[in-house]
Chains A and B, each alone.
Chain A
Amino acid sequence: GENVEQHPSTLSVQEGDSAVIKCTYSDSASNYFPWYKQELGKRPQLIIDIRSNVGEKKDQRIAVTLNKTAKHFSLHITETQPEDSAVYFCAASSGQGGKLIFGQGTELSVKP
């Protein structure tokens, strides 16, 4: 089955710097890759996603890139702000019933 590895597990940046979180997946049939943000005690919120027919997608300060050949995808946050502090999860899906396999999460801390 699918396996998703996420790195780093913790990331600390200064406000205004960029943050990059990377994930690799094992199943070449996976074709949908969402990213979720989870604040302490809250539900995960979908922040951006990408499908396998595109290589990059941007939404204001966040962007996701996908390399199908290498089977990895990354989340990029520019001009980080303290409110970006949260745990971020990547996931992969092959479309079978829409099952998402999640990475273990990255705890991002943005210091003012």
Chain B
Amino acid sequence: SQTIHQWPATLVQPVGSPLSLECTVEGTSNPNLYWYRQAAGRGLQLLFYSVGIGQISSEVPQNLSASRPQDRQFILSSKKLLLSDSGFYLCAWSVSGDEQFFGPGTRLTVL
């Protein structure tokens, strides 16, 4: 069966520091991968999605970037974090292009 992992589970970072969040999927090949951000417990906002290695589509202009170096690995990065980057970051995968399944998330606090 398919499994999705995210790490770290929680992270506290100072403003201006870099960020790297990782997501990996097991048990499937060539999934679509997604990064969402959820602020204040509501409203999932799509940040990036990828339909294949090296293929990244950005949905919202921001100081974040994403990369997909391997088929089942998706990375969210920032060179300099802002206070507004705090939130719950969720990775999701899909094979059919419809049903999406979420990872456990990373709770990021920027101080």
Please give the residue numbers on chain A whose beta carbons come within 8 Å of chain B beta carbons, in ascending order.
Answer: 32, 34, 40, 42-46, 49, 51, 87, 89, 91, 93, 95, 97-102, 104-105
The reply to whether A98 and B94 contact each other, CB–CB distance below 8 Å, is yes
> How many angstroms between the C-alpha atoms of A42 and B46 in the bound complex?
18
Main secondary structure of the interface of B (DSSP, over half): strand
CA distance A42 to B62 in the complex (A): 25
Contact B98 A46 (CB under 8 A): no
Q: Given the known A-B contacts A97-B97, A101-B46, are A43 and B105 also in contact in the complex, defined by CB atoms under 8 Å?
A: yes
State which residues 85-102 of B face A: CB under 8 Å: 90, 94, 96-102
Contact assessment for A97 and B98 in the assembled complex, using a CB-CB cutoff below 8 Å: no
Judge whether B44 and A43 touch: CB under 8 Å: no
Contact A100 B46, CB 8 Å, known A34-B99, A43-B102, A95-B98? yes
Residues in chain B near residue A42, CB distance under 8 A = 104
How distant is the Cα of A42 from the Cα of B104 in the complex, in angstroms? 7
Q: Min CB distance, A32 to chain B, in Å?
A: 5
Q: When the two chains form their complex, are residues A87 and B42 in contact, meaning their CB atoms are under 8 A apart?
A: yes
State A26–B21 Cα separation when bound (angstroms). 33
Smallest CB gap from B57: residue in A: A97
Interfacial chain A residues near B104, Cβ < 8 Å: 42-43
Contact of A104 with B42 in the complex, beta carbons under 8 Å: yes
Query: Do A98 and B32 touch across chains, with their CB atoms under 8 A apart?
Result: yes
Task: Return A26 CB to nearest CB of chain B, in Å.
Answer: 16
The reply to whether B41 and A87 contact each other, CB–CB distance below 8 Å, is: yes
Rounded to whole Å, the gap between the CB of A58 and the closest CB of chain B is 18
- CB of B110 closer than 8 Å to a CB of A: no
Interface string of B55-88 (1 = CB under 8 A from A): 0010100000000000000000000000000000
